[in-house]
């Protein structure tokens, strides 16, 4: 059953998130690097768990009408097996949606939960008038890329990070 995640879920969501990073370093994208969660090799950085828990707490508690966020979870037999983080932001021109994270426990993948989760998030965006939706994915996270393409997303750019300044 899909429901909004609450503060009591933070530790479980964090465990799922970091289990995914350990299992699949290719999950890391520029968002995790910018937050100080992991580096470009997928190595989890010191203090990352507390930073991520603070991030997810803010997303769960967010009551902004202008820039809302929603954290959804899927539970089976009282255990969270999938979750997603969705938020609204803007670029000083117009508002748009961002699919921040989508995690499905490994043994429950390939059962349609990812598609259901994404559909829930996209439906929420549409219900609040957001039509333009973006997401980011780690450069080598090919299975996710195929999934998102299959759901109608198209790659539109690359993100570069200066790692060897020459000037």
In a domain, 155, yes or no: no
Q: What is the pTM of this model?
A: 0.95
Q: What is the pLDDT of residue 164?
A: 84
Q: Is position 85 within any domain?
A: yes
Q: Which of 80, 85, 35, 36 is nearest to 59 (CA)?
A: 85
Of 100, 101, 96, give the one whose Cα is nearest residue 133. 96
pLDDT single digits (tens) 122-156: 999 999 999 999 999 999 999 999 999 999 999 99
Q: Is residue 64 part of a domain?
A: yes
Burial 150-159 (b: 16+ CB within 10 A, else e): eeebeeeeee
pLDDT in tens, 70-93: 999 999 999 999 999 999 999 999
Mean pLDDT of 3-29: 97
- Cβ–Cβ < 8 Å for 87, 98: yes
The verdict on residue 160 lying in a domain is: no
In a domain, 165, yes or no: no
Number of domains in the chain: 1
What mean pLDDT comes out for the span 155-161? 93
pLDDT band at residue 97 using 50, 70 and 90 as cut-offs: very high
pLDDT mean over 105-117: 96
In the predicted structure, residue 166 carries a pLDDT above the cut 90: no
Which 3-state string (H, E, C) describes 19-35?
A: HHHHHCHHHCCHHHHHC
Q: Pairing relation of β-strands 133-135 and 95-104?
A: parallel
Domain with 14 in it: 2-150
Does residue 140 lie in a domain region? Answer: yes
Question: Tell me, what CATH number does 47's domain have?
Answer: 3.40.630.30
At residue 167, does pLDDT exceed 80? no
Half-sphere exposure of 144 (CA within 13 A, CB side): 21
Residue 164, in any domain of the structure = no
- pLDDT (0 to 100) of residue 151: 97
Whether residue 145 is contained in a domain is answered as yes
pLDDT in tens, 18-45: 999 999 999 999 999 999 999 999 999 9
């Amino acid at each position: 059953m899909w429901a909004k995640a609450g503060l009591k879920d933070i530790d479980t969501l964090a465990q799922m998130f970091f289990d995914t990073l350990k299992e699949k370093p290719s999950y890391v994208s520029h968002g995790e690097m910018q937050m100080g969660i992991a580096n470009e090799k997928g190595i989890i950085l010191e203090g990352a768990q507390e930073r991520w828990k603070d991030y997810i707490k803010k997303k769960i508690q967010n009551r902004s009408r202008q820039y809302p966020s929603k954290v959804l979870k899927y539970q089976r037999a009282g255990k969270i097996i999938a979750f997603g983080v969705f938020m609204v932001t803007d670029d000083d021109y117009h508002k748009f949606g961002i699919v921040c994270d989508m995690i499905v426990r490994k043994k429950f993948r390939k059962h349609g939960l990812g598609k259901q989760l994404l559909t829930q998030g996209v439906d929420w965006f549409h219900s609040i008038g957001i039509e333009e939706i973006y997401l980011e994915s780690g450069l080598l996270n090919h299975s996710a890329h195929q999934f998102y393409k299959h759901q109608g997303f198209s790659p539109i750019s690359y993100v570069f990070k200066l790692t060897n300044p020459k000037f």
